[in-house]
Amino acid sequence: MKLTSVLGQKRITLSFEVFPPKADLDFESVRQAAFQVAKLGPDYMSVTYGAGGSTRDNTLALAEDIQKEYGVTAIAHLTCVGATKDSIQEALRDMRHSGIENILALRGDRPQWMEQEPFTDYHYASDLVAAIKEFGGFCIGGACYPEGHPDAANKKEDILNLKKKVDAGCEFLTTQMFFDNNIYYNFLYRVRSAGIEVPVIPGIMPISRASQVKNAIRLSGCNMPERFKNIVDRFGTNKDAMMQAGIIYASEQIIDLIANGVNNIHIYSMNHANVVRGIMENLSEIVMV
Ligand SMILES: Cc1cc2nc3c(=O)[nH]c(=O)nc-3n(C[C@H](O)[C@H](O)[C@H](O)COP(=O)(O)OP(=O)(O)OC[C@H]3O[C@@H](n4cnc5c(N)ncnc54)[C@H](O)[C@@H]3O)c2cc1C
């Protein structure tokens, strides 16, 4: 099923993100973890693409299995860093063959191990979006950054570049994680003012371990509100308390988003079914409204 039909409905949707293993040996255990997430009944699931295409086959295999075994629509991520026109055509043929109908088209970042020039055939995600559009048959999504992408000269330029991605054929956007909803509301206002009309799905990252915080900041450059820092300071050394507080914090973010009219929510589940389950329990009545 194409995601545009899921996102177009006037109801609340929840989607969960999982990541495939880097090593083939771990595939079965990761597959089982992803299945536990799928069992929670999301509207769709996204499967990430390892840095520089390092999980190409496992991304596809996991997305295919999620669809076949659980009937949950999958969106496969695809990056173009280090890719050639031929390798992207091949990836798209494989996806079509595996029954994948939805792609999150990304530029990606140059991994340290990559020796070749990273951006030759494709410079930006919008180039990849255009190539997928030309190939045909896929619903295409892209990433966006409420706090600005680190490479962008400023937020205004970043949004102008985002418009190019949407004009190239991107049908929905998923945001980088944020921990203060006002950042999302402000971003949405600027996105709409720039004439971008596609769904902008907030990406919520439940922090269940204090060690995730540093990683989250390093990867996303996102701002940590004082309220959240206090939670990590107070509960970070107690595993169970931190998990409970992280689940509640993410649940509150989602409740606020829904109360403000946001219907489509994406959760970075990080393959942790227990965390997503905790959020789902907190939202059991809310998602029914
Ligand atoms: C929801 C989400 C999912 C992700 N999933 C993955 C994943 O599975 N695998 C992975 O490796 N990474 C993933 N990433 C990380 C992503 O690859 C990086 O953030 C990367 O640095 C940018 O990718 P992009 O697709 O947003 O790039 P782009 O949209 O190309 O933007 C990158 C930078 O280039 C600028 N830019 C864009 N177009 C132009 C233009 N025409 N002219 C000048 N400047 C331009 C933008 O302003 C921005 O600063 C994900 C990020 C998000 C938010």
| Tens-place pLDDT, residues 159-209 | 999 999 999 999 999 999 999 999 999 999 999 999 999 999 999 999 999
Ligand 1 centre and the CA of 107: distance in Å?
5
CATH assignment of the domain containing 175: 3.20.20.220
Domain total of the chain: 1
Share of the chain above pLDDT 70, in %: 100
Judged against a pLDDT cut of 90, whether residue 63 lies above it is answered with yes
pLDDT-derived band at 285 (thresholds 50, 70, 90) equals very high
Q: Is 215 inside a domain boundary?
A: no
The model's pLDDT over 108-119, given as tens digits with 9 standing for 90+, comes to 999 999 999 999
Amino acid 214: pLDDT: 82
CA distance 160 to 163: 5
Q: Is 107 inside a domain boundary?
A: yes
Q: Is 182 inside a domain boundary?
A: yes
> For residues 56 and 49, is the Cβ–Cβ distance under 8 A?
yes
Ligand 1 centre and the CA of 126: distance in Å?
9
Mean pLDDT, residues 267-281: 97
Mutation probe of ligand 1 site: the residue of 95, 106, 140, 170 with most atoms within 8 A of C-beta: 106
Mean pLDDT, residues 264-287: 97
φ, ψ at 79 (rounded to 5°)? -110, 160
Q: Is 221 inside a domain boundary?
A: no
Q: Is 51 inside a domain boundary?
A: yes
Q: Is 181 inside a domain boundary?
A: yes
Domain that holds residue 76: 3-205
Judged against a pLDDT cut of 90, whether residue 264 lies above it is answered with yes
| Beta strands, E only, 88-130 | 102-106
Q: Is 258 inside a domain boundary?
A: no
The closest residue, in CA terms, to atom 42 on ligand 1 is 161
Amino acid 217: pLDDT: 85
The closest residue, in CA terms, to atom 16 on ligand 1 is 108
Task: Answer yes or no: 69 catalytic.
Answer: no
Q: Is 190 inside a domain boundary?
A: yes
pLDDT-derived band at 78 (thresholds 50, 70, 90) equals very high
> For residues 165 and 129, is the Cβ–Cβ distance under 8 A?
yes
Judged against a pLDDT cut of 90, whether residue 220 lies above it is answered with no
Integer CA distances (angstroms), 103 to 58, 82, 254, in order: 15, 18, 24
